Every structure is written in structure tokens, then in C-alpha cells.
Structure 1
Amino acid sequence: MAKETTKAQPQKQVPQQSKSVFPLDKINLVLIAICIVLIAVGFALMGGSANEGSNFNYDIFSTRRTVVGPTIALLGFVLMIVAIMYKKKGNNKPNDASSEQA
């Protein structure tokens, strides 16, 4: 009976994957939630009853429905862009793994 010799096979080294980093921080998500609420409030202010048959409803041209509601909704949409792009001043961590030096 012959001895079986087994060579230790070199284990493959799996390259370390850089941990996935979510591009938005907690403050961004809070600001986005606030903007969604602003947009919903703006659309709610634009809502109301419509004309009913032969009676004309002058409330459809009220300031709340034609100026205040759309302004708040537009403000929510503009602030949404700001909320997505907002970055803290102290958060200057490089995301590129090749720039890290050991």
C-alpha cells in the first residue's frame, strides 16, 4: 500500500470588497421626509370641492388654492433637490478605496 501524499493546496485569497456605502446620510433622509410632507401639505391645500352643476363655486379661485398650495408644493420640490445634495462640512471621507494608504 502506497502512502498517499496530499499537498496543501493554496487557498485562494478573495479580494476584500469595499463595504457598500449608502450615498445618503441620516440627515439627508430626514430632510427628504420633511420635503415629502411639505409636498403633501401643498397638494392638500390645493384640494377642495369643485363646481356643482349650475352653481358656480367661487372658492376654486381662492388664494389658498391658487397661490399658497402651489407655492408650498414647489418649495417642497426645490428643497428636495437641496436635501439630496446636502453634505455635512465635516464629512470629507474619500469613497475611493485606492486612495487609502496603509
Structure 2
Amino acid sequence: MKKQAPVPVENPAMPLGKRNYVMILCGIAAIVLGFILLSGGGSEDPATQFDYGMFSFRRLYVAPVLLLAGFLFGIYAIMYRPKDKTKDNADSGNE
């Protein structure tokens, strides 16, 4: 059985293109915004046992969906690979 020759890598220093890094930053921004929406102040009155403000629509639905979308988009951004090789070279700065 013949050994296959390794596929040469064009630029081993940059495994991802510029577009990948921009997409990853967008995913991180969505995650940070989701955590900001999830956070909130506590009750001003320590005698109260329950703060019903924690059951707001923003904390129960918007923030978790934004967090999930940010994580999924970050995974997609890491795995994204352009179909056209000329675009990939333009994104990574290699022309």
C-alpha cells in the first residue's frame, strides 16, 4: 500500500481566515450581550424573600436564546470554510 503525500498547507501560521475571526468576534459579542441581559440587580429590600423581576421575559427567553445563538454561531464561525479558494486567500491576506 502506497503512502499518500501530505497535502501542502499554504499558510500554516493562519489556520483561519479574516472572515472566520470576524465571525468569531460577532459570536463573542452575542454571548457577552446575552450575559448582560441575563444579569440584573437584586432586591433592594432584604426582608423580601422573592424578587419577581427575575421572571422577566428578557431573563427567561431573550438572554438564553441569544446565548445559545452566540455559542452556535461561534462554532459555525470556527468550522466555516469558503468554497472559493480565491476568497480564502483574499481573507487571510495572501494574494
Q: What's the TM-score once normalised by structure 2's chain length?
A: 0.71
Partner of 2:28: 36
Comparing 79-88 and 49-58, the one that deviates more: 49-58
Larger radius of gyration: 1
More relative contact order, 1 or 2 (CA 8 Å, 6+ apart): 2
For the pair 1:88 / 2:68, whether they are aligned, the reply is no
Partner of 1:71: 65
Partner of 2:7: none
Q: Which runs of 4+ in 1 moved over 4 A?
A: none
Q: Size of the alignment, in residue pairs?
A: 75
Distance 1:19 1:35 in 2: 25
The structure whose residues are more often helix, as a share, is 2
* Counterparts of residues 52-63 of structure 1 (less than 5 Å): 52-55=45-48, 56-63=50-57
Distance 2:73 2:41 in 1: 29
| Structure 2: 5+ residue stretches without partners | 1-9, 87-95
Residues 49 and 60, structure 1, Cα contact 8 Å, conserved in 2: no
Distance 2:18 2:63 in 1: 28
Give the C-alpha shift of residue 57 in structure 1: 1.8
